[in-house]
Amino acid sequence: MAKEFNVPPVVFPASSSTPAAVPHQRRATPAPSAPPFQPPRPATSTALPFMSFDIGAAPAPSSFSAPSFPSAASGSFSSFDEEPPLLEELGINTRQIWLKTTSILNPIRVNPSIHEDADLSGPFIFLMAFGLFQLLAGKFHFGIILGWVTVASLFLYVVFNMLAGRNGNLDLYRCLSLVGYCMLPMVIFSAVSLFVPHDGVVIFAMAAMFVFWSTRICARLLVELASCGEEHRGLIAYACWLVYLLFSLLVIF
C-alpha cells in the first residue's frame, strides 16, 4: 500500500510578469562609487599657496627677475688672469732647470753663476730618471737612491766645512742641490748601460768616464760657489769621487 504525501501548490503572483527571485540566486547590488579624492581646502585665507592642491588658488607672481651672470668684459675675471702659473707658485723654474742642465752637459765650460740659486726640482727629476732606468734594468732602487743622495750630501757638507773651518759658508740645501744636479752624468750612464753587457771591460771604462765627469763638475761648483775651498780642491774632489763611484757600482752590479 503506497503512502501519499500532501504537497502544497505553488502560486505565482499575477501582478508581476517575472518570476520571483530565488533567495540564493539574487545578485548583490553594487555599492555606490566613492567620490574622487579631493584635498581639503585651506580653512583660512592666510594659508600658504604651496600647501594647497588647487592650482587656481595660488597667486601669480607679481614680478620675475632673471639671474645676472658676470661677464668677462666687466673685468670680474681679471683676477684669474693676473695669477702666476702653477709651476711658478710651486717654486719650479723650468728655464733655470734647463740652463743648469745644459751647463752640466758641457764639462769643460761650467758656469757656476747659474747654480747660485739652489733648488731641488731638477735634482728630484734626475733622481727619478736614474731610478726609472734602474727599474728598466730589473732593479728597484728608488729608496736606495734617495737615501744615498741624502747621506752623500751630508758627507760632502761635513767634509767641506771641516776643511774650510769657520770661514766655510756652504749650507746643506745648496750642497744637496749641487750633488743632485751633478747626478746627470750618472743618469746618462744608467741609460746607456741598458744596451751594454755588464760582463766586459766596456762597462767599466764607461763607468770611469762618467764618474770623472760628475766628480769634476761637482768639485768645481763646490769650490766656486763656497769660499775657502780653493786650497782643498783635491780633497773635495776625492770626496765627490767616492760619492759618484758608489752610484756607478749601483748601476754595474
| Stated pTM of the model | 0.67
Among 235, 177, 179, 244, residue whose Cα is nearest residue 209: 244
Task: Looking at the chain, list the stretches that DSSP marks H as alpha helix, in order from N- to C-terminal side.
Answer: 78-81, 86-89, 94-105, 121-136, 142-164, 172-181, 184-192, 201-225, 233-252
pLDDT average, residue stretch 137-145: 93
Q: State which amino acid sits at residue 204.
A: F
Contact 150, 127 (CB under 8 A): no
**What percent of the chain is modeled with pLDDT above 90?**
46
Domain boundaries along the sequence of the chain: 93-252
Instruction: Return the pLDDT at 246.
Output: 95
Instruction: Return the pLDDT at 225.
Output: 87
Q: What is the pLDDT of residues 72-99, one digit of tens each?
A: 444 544 566 667 677 667 778 889 999 9
> Residue 56 contacts by C-beta under 8 Å, 6 or more apart in sequence?
none
Instruction: Return the pLDDT at 22.
Output: 47
Instruction: Return the pLDDT at 74.
Output: 47
Q: What is the pLDDT of residues 116-140, one digit of tens each?
A: 889 999 999 999 999 999 999 999 9
Instruction: Return the pLDDT at 230.
Output: 77
What grid cell was written down for 215?
Answer: 766628480
Separation between Cα atoms, residue 162 and residue 228, nearest integer Å? 11
Contact 162, 222 (CB under 8 A): no
As a three-state string, the secondary structure of 27-68 is CCCCCCCCCCCCCCCCCCCCCCHHHCCCHHHCCCCCCCCCCC
Q: What is the pLDDT of residues 230-251, one digit of tens each?
A: 788 899 999 999 999 999 999 9
Rounding to the nearest 10 degrees, give the CA dihedral for residues 199, 204, 205, 208. Answer: 170
Contact 176, 150 (CB under 8 A): yes
Lowest mean pLDDT among 34-38, 138-142, 156-160, 238-242: 34-38
Separation between Cα atoms, residue 97 and residue 107, nearest integer Å? 17
Most confident of 21-25, 158-162, 191-195: 191-195
pLDDT average, residue stretch 24-37: 53
pLDDT average, residue stretch 199-211: 94
Separation between Cα atoms, residue 181 and residue 119, nearest integer Å? 10
Phi and psi dihedrals of 88, rounded to 5? -70, -35
State the Cα angle at 67 between 65 and 69, rounded to 5°.
145
